[in-house]
Structure 1
Amino acid sequence: MKKRSREESKVLTVRHQKDRDELEKHMTIKREAKKENLTRKMLEHERAATAALVEKHSKEMMRLIQEKRSEYLEDDDEELEHYPASPPPPQPPPQTKLDIYTDPEEFAQVDQLAIQVAQEDQKTFTDLVRMLVGHCSSDVEKARTIFRWITVKNLNSITFDDSAHGDTPMGLLRGIKYGTESYHVLFKRLCSYAGLHCVVIKGYSKSAGYQPGVKFEDNRFRNSWNAVYVAGAWRVQLGGAAPGQCQGGAQARREEQER
């Protein structure tokens, strides 16, 4: 009887330990999932707050640029290309891409400028944009050189200072690397400093993992794009990019944009 009792007790102890291990494993998985979900929501909230702030600053910057542009046009007798003071409504462009340029090599000079500017870190967005678009002769060149500067920056090779402010180029690039910012917000901000209307378009894309018939019911296939107003029409400029995307991915995005 004593031997049988000891064997039963041993079996119960092993079973209890197994149940305990399973419970701890389940609770750990549940806790990690809750932590991941909370972190994701915090990042989304921070990105949304940043996007709203950039939207406000972009409108203010465009207003100031339009005021200065109007003053310049009043003092100058020469007729300059008119750029709308407010964002025009969306409509199909009157020109095709081939009507604007036929070979990406036409942008070789502004591309080289963007590459040179990317070798140094500018302290303010004003300094950065002035260096990028100061010698551009058209709205298309302005958008191109901003786009090219973004694709040149390799976030994986940049060492960021933790004290970098979010209202500086380096601070925003740091945010992109760690998931609190996005390329689309950066492109929109730089366009506003260059006097270009730019919007962020949100939607879905059939990226890796998508299977025919899958419904877009969660955030797995969420994506964003930029549309910038150049050459008298709205044109899609920059596709989605993951935080910290390597330079090889940037090269692929650049080649796709050129095609």
Structure 2
Amino acid sequence: DDKVRQLSPRIDTSTYDSLIKSLTADFTTDLQKLRAIFVWLYLQNIYDSYYNRVTDPYTPRGYMKLMKTQTGSYESFFTQLCRAADIPCNVIRGIGKGDKYNIGQQDMSELESAWCAVYVAGGW
């Protein structure tokens, strides 16, 4: 985690390949790489960053711009990052019964959610 924190400001986000190589160069296992991706994404201040000069949505910075305008999502971005690192990852959509759920509630439309499933260390 500390290594990723130190690297984070200097990581090249111009392409997925350069980002993943920078993030995972010192790690050997998929679990270590996955943790590096997770920590890096957590450290990004996506909604307070400026993307005025970013024009290509097919780059990490381009996707962060989409997220800021709410046309991209964390789970989709995380999945793209994992796949760029050759770590299998899928987005799962369903109902998340969290703090907004009331027992017996019939209308589940406000509870729709998405999360990631990652295949690492021999399991999902």
TM-score, shorter chain, exceeding 0.5: yes
Task: Calculate the aligned-residue CA RMSD, in Å.
Answer: 1.6
Q: Deviations over 1:12-37 (max 9, x none)?
A: xxxxxxxxxxxxxxxxxxxxxxxxxx
**Equivalent residue letter for 1:165:** D
Matched with 1:116 is 6
CA distance in 2, matches of 1:215, 1:118: 44
In the alignment, which of 213, 222, 237 is matched to residue 112 of structure 2?
A: 222
CA deviation digits over 1:199-242, x for unaligned, max 9?
11111112343322112442x111111111111111xxxxxxxx
Distance in 1 (CA, whole Å) between partners of 2:30 and 2:107 is 36
**Structure of larger gyration radius:** 1
User: Which amino acid counterpart does residue 148 of structure 1 have in structure 2?
Assistant: V
- Where 2:119 maps in the other structure, the secondary structure is strand
Unaligned runs of 5+ in 2: none
1:232 aligns with 2:122: yes
Q: Distance in 1 between matches of 2:107 and 2:37?
A: 32
2:39 equivalent to 1:144? no
Q: Distance in 2 between matches of 1:204 and 1:216?
A: 11
Unaligned runs of 5+ in 1: 1-110, 235-259
Cα distance, 1:163 vs structure 2: 4.0
TM-aligned CA deviation for residue 146 of structure 1: 0.3
Q: How far is the alpha carbon of 1:194 from its aligned partner?
A: 0.8
TM-score where L is the length of structure 1: 0.45
Where 2:17 maps in the other structure, the secondary structure is: helix
Equivalent residues, number: 123
Aligned-pair CA distance for 1:162: 5.7
Contact 2:79 2:116 in 1 (8 A): yes
Q: 1: CA distance between counterparts of 2:54 and 2:71?
A: 15
Q: Which residue of 1 aligns with 2:24?
A: 133
Matches within 5 A, 1:1-259: 111-120=1-10, 122-161=13-52, 163-218=54-109, 220-234=110-124
The alpha carbon displacement at 1:145 in A equals: 0.5
Tell me how far apart the structure 2 counterparts of residues 149 and 122 of structure 1 sit (CA, whole Å).
11
C-alpha distance in structure 2 between counterparts of 1:115 and 1:226, whole Å: 23
Q: Distance in 2 between matches of 1:212 and 1:162?
A: 48
Identical counterparts, % of pairs: 32
CA distance in 1, matches of 2:53, 2:103: 43
Q: Deviations over 1:142-198 (max 9, x none)?
A: 110000011001123311226431111111111112110111111111111111111
